[in-house]
């Protein structure tokens, strides 16, 4: 199942961020207190009981990762141990069983190997998106945790998350809808956070922005994050900052960018509350970052019915974000030295 075979005949450079059915997915079941071994299966359809807690009470979590083809043909994952850790944090929070780290990493690797023909080639600008998920299944009605769970990993070749050419500039609109409460589930990758955000994204798009920008829900002052990505900001004073909030997803991309900014660009980095209205005039460059988003420079932000251009005309990529993008993607695609030991090769 894991033999290297010819690539699919896809128009790789034209791919958007859409589901594309691939050949195999990993699937394991948990019941009576333990996981079975799991197996690779062909069907993309999950059959669940109509009473499943995942369907009614959102007892589910997921992850997002990418596999890239390097110039020398190696297939690389980016810091998959952190996705395993984060999924288990969500699992504990929602009273679901943890997926042992080895099982998680093995399942991801096996699914990537089995779908070799779907891994976009080097230089195509596309990658293989990996979606591990954990759902509460089985019969249930009252508000209590499931007795059975399914862990599944599927993959799909994807192109850029935001429609633009190359490193495109995006715009954000501040949302009047909150995403997560200060001590709620905002820092976990759980579906419930996203269902509540669909309307916020729609409203932001209706205003001409790509995405919603959430402020803290206690005071509506401090930047939390965007609908599908964290925020990083290069300030006019030379510092490089990101929100310090317990209501945002701890982004692996952001964590990595902060290290690159500090260690390689020698910027003074800090995670601190960022008062949007008070500080926006001091923003030199801003970006949204995440696995799907990679690093998307934010050109304009709509705040209180007024658009604010961040860098220059709001449509230009600034030098700091360009440099960070080049270094991050360079490491992820094996073009630059993996100085921090972040890449994990999937061996065939």
- Rule CB under 6 A: which residues touch ligand PLP? 64, 225, 228-230, 249, 251-254, 290-291
Q: Which is nearer to ligand COI, 38 or 64 (CB)?
A: 64
- Residue number with CB closer to ligand PLP (10 or 167): 167
Query: How many residues in total does the chain contain?
Result: 348
Q: Which C-beta is closer to ligand PLP: that of 137 or that of 229?
A: 229
User: Under DSSP, is residue 278 helix (H, G, I), strand (E, B) or coil?
Assistant: helix
Residue 201 beta carbon to ligand COI: minimum distance, rounded to whole angstroms: 9
The interface partner of residue 75, options being ligand PLP, ligand COI, none and the CB cut-off 5 to 8 Å by kind, is none
Task: Tell me how far, at minimum, the Cβ of 253 lies from ligand COI, in Å.
Answer: 8
- Interacting partner of 249 out of ligand COI, ligand PLP, none (Cβ under 5 to 8 A depending on kind): ligand PLP
Cross-strand pairs, 157: 128
d(CA 220, CA 188): 21
The nearer residue to ligand COI, 64 or 136, going by C-beta atoms, is 64
**142: Cβ contacts below 8 Å, ≥ 6 apart:** none
- Region of residue 262 (phi > 0: left; psi between -120 and 50: alpha; otherwise: beta): alpha
Minimum gap (Å) between residue 245 Cβ and ligand PLP: 11
Cα-based distances in Å from 341 to 105, 256, 332, 336, 337: 16, 11, 11, 12, 9
Position of minimal CB gap to ligand PLP: 290
Q: For residue 78, what is the enclosing H or E element?
A: strand 75-78
Catalytic residue among 7, 102, 163, 189: 189
251 binds, among ligand PLP, ligand COI, none (CB under 5 to 8 A by kind): ligand PLP
Q: Which helix (H) or strand (E) holds 91?
A: helix 80-93
Do 152 and 61 meet the contact criterion of CB atoms below 8 Å apart? no
Residue nearest to ligand COI (CB): 64
Binding region for ligand COI (CB under 6 A): 64, 228, 290-292
Residue 287, both tokens? 């970006």
Coil/strand/helix, residue 248: coil
- By DSSP bridging, strand 239-242 and strand 268-271 are parallel
Dist. CA 251–CA 261, nearest whole Å: 15
Q: Decide if 189 is catalytic.
A: yes
Minimum distance of ligand PLP from residue 167's CB (angstroms): 17
Q: How far apart are the first and last CA of the chain?
A: 11
Residue 211's binding partner, choosing from ligand PLP, ligand COI, none, with beta-carbon cut-off 5 to 8 A by kind? none
Residues 121 and 112: their CA atoms lie apart, in Å, by 14
**What tokens does 106 get?**
């093995």
Q: Going by C-beta distance under 8 Å and a sequence separation of 6 or more, which residues neighbour residue 205? A: none
Which of the residues are catalytic? 189
């Amino acid at each position: 199942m894991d033999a290297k075979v010819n690539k699919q005949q896809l128009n790789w450079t034209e791919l958007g961020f859409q589901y594309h059915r691939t050949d195999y997915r990993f699937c394991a079941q948990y019941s009576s207190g333990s996981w079975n071994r799991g197996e690779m299966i062909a069907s993309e359809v999950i059959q669940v009981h109509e009473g499943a807690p995942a369907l009614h009470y959102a007892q589910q979590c997921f992850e997002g990762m990418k596999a890239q083809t390097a110039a020398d043909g190696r297939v690389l994952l980016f810091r998959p141990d952190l996705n395993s850790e984060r999924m288990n944090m969500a699992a504990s929070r929602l009273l679901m069983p943890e997926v042992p780290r080895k099982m998680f990493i093995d399942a991801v690797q096996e699914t990537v190997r089995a779908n070799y023909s779907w891994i976009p080639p080097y230089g195509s600008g596309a990658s293989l998106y990996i979606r591990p998920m954990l759902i509460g299944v089985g019969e249930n009605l009252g508000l209590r945790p499931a007795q059975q769970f399914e862990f599944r990993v599927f993959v799909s070749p994807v192109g850029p998350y935001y429609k633009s050419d190359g490193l495109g500039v995006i715009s954000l609109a501040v949302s009047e809808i909150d995403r997560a409460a200060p001590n709620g589930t905002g820092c976990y990758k759980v579906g419930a956070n996203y269902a509540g955000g669909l309307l916020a994204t729609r409203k932001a798009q209706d205003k001409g922005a790509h995405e919603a920008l959430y402020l803290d829900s206690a005071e509506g002052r401090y930047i939390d994050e965007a609908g599908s990505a964290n925020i990083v900001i290069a300030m006019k004073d030379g510092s490089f900052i990101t929100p310090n909030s317990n209501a945002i997803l701890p982004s692996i991309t952001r964590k990595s960018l902060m290290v690159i900014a500090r260690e390689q660009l020698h910027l003074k980095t800090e995670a601190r509350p960022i008062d949007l209205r008070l500080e926006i005039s001091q923003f030199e460059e801003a970006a949204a970052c995440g696995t799907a988003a990679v690093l998307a420079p934010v050109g304009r932000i709509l705040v209180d019915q007024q658009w604010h251009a961040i860098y220059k005309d709001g449509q230009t990529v600034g030098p700091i974000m360009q440099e960070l993008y080049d270094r991050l993607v360079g490491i992820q695609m094996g073009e630059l030295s993996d100085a921090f030991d972040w890449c994990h090769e999937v061996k065939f």
